[in-house]
Structure 1
């Protein structure tokens, strides 16, 4: 065998050795490659589910919003609070208030830092709406208790939630967090006070007034017309003022 043949054989062995090394490197890095692809796919799917949940909520498709939000639950390592937050918000839009409260409370346990701001606001709004429902059903004691719970949630919201940084992370930039908290606090205090007054026993003078002769039908109709007019004016004012006595929509 000539020197040329020896060189060719050595070169061939070197190429074979390099191919074996590349093959083993490829096999060794395959799990990392698959993991990277899984992470990228998960991130993209999370954005897709979140976008679908938000867009469905905006058009009042609460069932679609809830369904998309539940797609965020699987292996959500990055923002674990987001799935129950979006689910709870969608359930609140559908007036499934107890279930919405349970999901938002789960989200609050998972949220950290400024993430708690929107969760606490929505949770307080849901509890307030539960109080409104109890009041409409004539359960004054439950309504007063729920208003108190909602007020506690609002008052105990961290001061950092009023910062510009928190506002930048708000799910609805058009609604100011600080104004929302202030409006909710004033509204809940008023509702709680009204409910407590309704629960107080009547004084003898009030009972005597109830026993007095009732006004005629014509006077009652005049009073009803005035009340209806005042209600319409108040509703118009509340429509212009999100901080009115009505309860805000979760966001």
Structure 2
């Protein structure tokens, strides 16, 4: 083999080694590449679906808003509280209050720090509307329970939710969270008082029936009846013939 042939053979061998190395590098980095592509796609789709959900909600397309928000549930690793929050808000708009409350409670369990602020406001409003619905159905007792639950949710809002930073993170920047919280609590307290005032009072006769201790007037009345009955029996006994039965008449 000539020197030229030897050099060409060495060059070919080196090229094969480089191609082999590049191939194994590509195979080894393929999972990282795919993950990076998935990560970027997830971020882009998350913002796109969130924007679509908000846009649909603004125009009262609650079904469309819910559909877009449910798309956020897939691989819900980033800001996990937002998917159930958006779904619950859309369901609330459609007046599906029990389902909306369940989703918002799920969101609250996933929220941390300032994330709780908006979730608590919407959850309290949904529970308040449950109370309004119960009141319209004539169930004042259930309405009072709902109002109490809503007031508790609002009252447990962290103090930092009144900060400017919390306001900047609000799902509705045009809504003052602190003012909304105060207005909600004032409204709930007023509704609670109204329900307490509207609770029917137990009639006096019914209270006496449930009261095991007879009143003094009742005792006097019963004593008078007993004495009158005894006088009637004495009179009847005087007129009966010997050997009569002497059975008392029921009174």
TM-score normalized by structure 2?
Answer: 0.78
Deviations 1:189-246 (A, max 9, x none): 1111111111152899xxxxxxxxxxxxxxxxxxxxxxxxxxxxxxxxxxxxxxxxxx
Q: Take 1:31 and 1:173, find their aligned partners in 2: how far apart are those partners? A: 40
Which residue does 1:157 correspond to in 2? 157
Correspondence list, 1:106-117, <5 A: 106-117=106-117
Paired residue secondary structure (1:32): helix
Which residue does 1:19 correspond to in 2? 19
Which residue does 2:135 correspond to in 1? 135
Aligned-pair distance for 1:11?
Answer: 2.0
Correspondence list, 1:228-247, <5 A: none
Aligned-pair distance for 1:177?
Answer: 0.7
Which residue does 1:226 correspond to in 2? none
Q: Does 1:41 align with 2:41?
A: yes
Which of 1 and 2 has higher RCO (CA within 8 Å, sep 6+)?
Answer: 1
Paired residue secondary structure (2:138): coil
Q: Take 1:37 and 1:129, find their aligned partners in 2: how far apart are those partners? A: 43
Which residue does 2:172 correspond to in 1? 172
Q: Take 1:200 and 1:147, find their aligned partners in 2: how far apart are those partners? A: 19
Q: Take 2:3 and 2:64, find their aligned partners in 1: how far apart are those partners? A: 76
Q: Take 2:52 and 2:35, find their aligned partners in 1: how far apart are those partners? A: 25
Q: Take 1:24 and 1:203, find their aligned partners in 2: how far apart are those partners? A: 89
Paired residue secondary structure (1:27): helix
Q: Take 2:29 and 2:22, find their aligned partners in 1: how far apart are those partners? A: 10
Which residue does 1:53 correspond to in 2? 53
Aligned-pair distance for 1:120?
Answer: 0.7
Q: Take 1:16 and 1:139, find their aligned partners in 2: how far apart are those partners? A: 83
Q: Take 2:62 and 2:191, find their aligned partners in 1: how far apart are those partners? A: 28
Q: Take 1:118 and 1:38, find their aligned partners in 2: how far apart are those partners? A: 29
Which residue does 1:189 correspond to in 2? 189
Moved more, 1-10 or 167-176: 1-10
Which residue does 2:97 correspond to in 1? 97
User: Over aligned residue pairs, what C-alpha RMSD do you find?
Assistant: 1.5
Q: Which has the larger radius of gyration?
A: 2
Unpaired segments of 5 or more residues in structure 1?
205-251
Which residue does 2:80 correspond to in 1? 80
Q: Take 1:171 and 1:203, find their aligned partners in 2: how far apart are those partners? A: 50
TM-score normalized by structure 1?
Answer: 0.78
Q: Take 1:155 and 1:106, find their aligned partners in 2: how far apart are those partners? A: 19
Aligned-pair distance for 1:6?
Answer: 2.5
Deviations 1:128-157 (A, max 9, x none): 011111111111101111101000111111
